[in-house]
Homo-oligomer: A and B are copies of this chain.
């Protein structure tokens, strides 16, 4: 699977994309994007579990109820969250603006088939004059038929340092099916889900119900197992459109084809999830937490989440400090029924580089060679922790990032 800046969401057949600058951001950086399909698509989405969902999430859920969509319109800079009924009206108006502008260039789509999405500061209302200007610019670009995936990826960024995109492909029968995706997310990243927006496209022929099933499964093990700062955003959205133009036999029920598709979609989501954590606000390192030997996945998830969210673990990773006491005690307060006598911790990416530092409840005394290996493992850009609970067979993998002075700078100064 390639990380591509030249092709992602328009690699699958039947999609166009554009990005632009409408002036929401004071910085003058790109702040709008659109993805348009040639025809109505099977569509599915997973939204934030925050009890204060943003207005676009409320509107988007409504528009996706029939499992069908043709366009996604996104702005960055203002999240349109905690904005009451006025905010919902603005999100719906944005969809109508897209329909109107497209009609002006001879493209007819239902405003119900537009999914709105916003990210940025919470509280302010959308400046609808700027949004109108942005939609007009976007549609002009689309009409020229471009595949400006990179522009779209830039248009959805907030505190992201890099645009995020990926693509993948697989064979279903004798047909090649393509998948692409763009993502943003850097702060307010926490499971269920990250503060992030992810927009995926595919030319697979698949029913809305099966698409939803595949998306849920892929999201559960990717975007729901990452955390930058445990603050679950009210804007989180992962949406997918499937154009059906690959010509494969339509996937309408569980089975081999759905499994193959879900597997590839999961890889794509894992790729984007990794990019999001790597670009976590102020992050200099990614750490991989594998929890094994749990009774249930749920138990393993609790332990992994406690470790990736612990500020003490995050600062230890930042300082390349093999302060393993912080990791095992995070497991200890996770709420999982840890048994100290069966708990072990290994640091480093597999043998022979890895070092077991805590073995069934007892600290290992390390040789000089092991100390050197441990030191080297902690200095990598990717740091690996494996916690074996010694209680069962279940396991999970999570991603976290370190906590740096830069995170403080970004977040003590952001907004107002």
List chain A positions with a Cβ less than 8 A from chain B: 49-53, 79, 81-84, 121-124, 187-188, 190, 192, 229-234, 309-312, 315-316, 318-319, 321-326, 328-333, 336-340, 343, 358, 361-363, 403-405, 407-409, 411-416
Contact = CB atoms under 8 A, between A and B. Distances in A.
Closest 7 A/B residue pairs (Cβ): A122-B325, A319-B412, A52-B332, A315-B411, A232-B333, A50-B332, A84-B362
Contacts of A229: 310-312
Contacts of A415: 321, 323
Contact of A363 (B82, B331, B362, B407): B82
Given A84-B363, A321-B415, A362-B84, A234 B405 contact: no
Contacts of A121: 323, 325
Contact of A50 (B51, B122, B333, B413): B333
A130 B218 CA distance: 55
B52 A329 contact: yes
Nearest to A360: B84
Given A311-B411, A411-B312, A123 B363 contact: yes
A405 B416 contact: no
Contacts of A316: 411-412
Q: In terms of DSSP, what is the predominant structure of the interface of chain A?
A: loop
User: Which among A79, A404, A416 has the greatest number of chain B C-beta atoms within 10 A?
Assistant: A416
A329 B121 CA distance: 12
B416 A322 contact: yes
A102 B226 CA distance: 54
Contacts of A187: 312
Contacts of A361: 82, 84
Contacts of A232: 329, 332-333
Given A81-B329, A123-B324, A323-B414, A312 B52 contact: no
Given A81-B329, A321-B412, A52 B230 contact: no
